[in-house]
Structure 1
């Protein structure tokens, strides 16, 4: 008798996360999914109603202070995923924030701290919470990184540095946990609310040529569809080959052709 895998997906309420969720739910044999989001949107509520045996949604604010976040993560892991389904096979870490979009001299350190809590430390806390289950079942971790981890943009210092830290965390996890397969994925410029904000709000911070890049990608159809990158990320969460562990890859890298 086959066992239905269990996937924890963060940032599931919109954008790439919602695309991953919809892809997983549409599979011929969908996994059990614990969808974690700050705000449970009407779309998530509707999906929970139409997939009552497959989908559970919970609200977690990943910007919470460490002590509160630790408690929230323990609750969602033990009281929801394991108590309901008895195992955890994969974690897809998709949540994150771009703010503050400000030059180093203009942003407050407290704003950087919040970005690192959301984009980095909360991911470490989630992985720490599930590591025993992932070892037990030979599980998988998919980290949604960014090209900003390896290339700077004006005003993106906090975001880029937090994603660079995430990449190193991915490498460290691969080294320390041979029974767990982990990968960091660069999703490209995806048609999400973040890109809308970059085009319409944050252009005054970036250099003109940097802002023009994002405007032109949208205008010329070069922006990535959430459902395209979402399918790759979802498929990696379901079946990731061991040889990918520790790597940082573009979502459309040739090494990921089998996951598209």
Structure 2
């Protein structure tokens, strides 16, 4: 087994996923990442140390196998981040107007894909004493108009993540609400609005470091409540 730590981060072409890829690359990790938009993925990962970019959709079975194969080539998995996500239809609809097709699309991306990918890579995570990190939302536990479908999927993701922890005591598993961020997804939720007052996603990274560096008890956390590692100032 190589001494270089390995991370798999889904949805690495923009937003928080992109910043996680950049941060771990800068720390000397080997980072496997994906996105549906191959051009954007190539552009955002070009020149980054140790980054392996694989174009594809997390809901696609062949793409899942490609990600698993990439991990196995390195012989370890220290961090699995479920970041890829979809809002579903926009403008955000009232629950009464949500269709079965909407439900299937959101559920497959936000719950089904993380569930299946974690199951496929569980032996690798356990063998490496690895960390499972799922990016959640305050909509998973709060109730906002228009956010019902997305929020329900994030509640489902929380449940899947922490049930994996309950079933596998050796797994360090976290569902984390990163807070509002200035990302393309957040902009899509508020079309036409100025979201420049939201924090940049890079500001969340120092808080998330606490999880894979200090490994607190498995559970659901708000990123803002996670302490900053002593070395965060030098890295951020």
SS for the counterpart of 1:7 is strand
Q: TM-score, normalised by structure 1?
A: 0.80
Name the structure 2 match of 1:225: 200
> Displacement of 1:194 after TM fit?
1.8
Counterpart mapping for 1:96-245 below 5 A:
96-100=85-89, 101-200=92-191, 218=195, 221=197, 223-233=198-208, 235-236=209-210, 238-241=212-215, 243-245=216-218
The number of residues matched between the two structures is 229
Instruction: Kindly report structure 1 stretches of 4+ aligned residues shifted beyond 4 Å.
Output: none
Q: Distance in 2 between matches of 1:236 and 1:41?
A: 32
* 8 Å contact kept, 1:7–1:34: yes
* 8 Å contact kept, 2:12–2:41: no
Q: Distance in 1 between matches of 2:159 and 2:57?
A: 24
> Displacement of 1:189 after TM fit?
0.7
Q: Distance in 1 between matches of 2:71 and 2:47?
A: 18
Quick check: 1:56 aligned with 2:58?
A: no
SS for the counterpart of 1:143 is strand
Q: Distance in 2 between matches of 1:32 and 1:146?
A: 27
Q: Distance in 2 between matches of 1:81 and 1:171?
A: 22
Larger Rg, first or second structure (1 or 2): 1
Q: How well do the aligned residues superpose, as a CA RMSD in angstroms?
A: 2.2
SS for the counterpart of 1:105 is helix
* 8 Å contact kept, 2:41–2:53: no
Name the structure 2 match of 1:82: 72
Name the structure 2 match of 1:37: 35
Q: 1:249 and 1:46, CA in 2 relative to 1: closer, same or farther beyond 3 A?
A: closer
Q: Distance in 2 between matches of 1:44 and 1:244?
A: 36
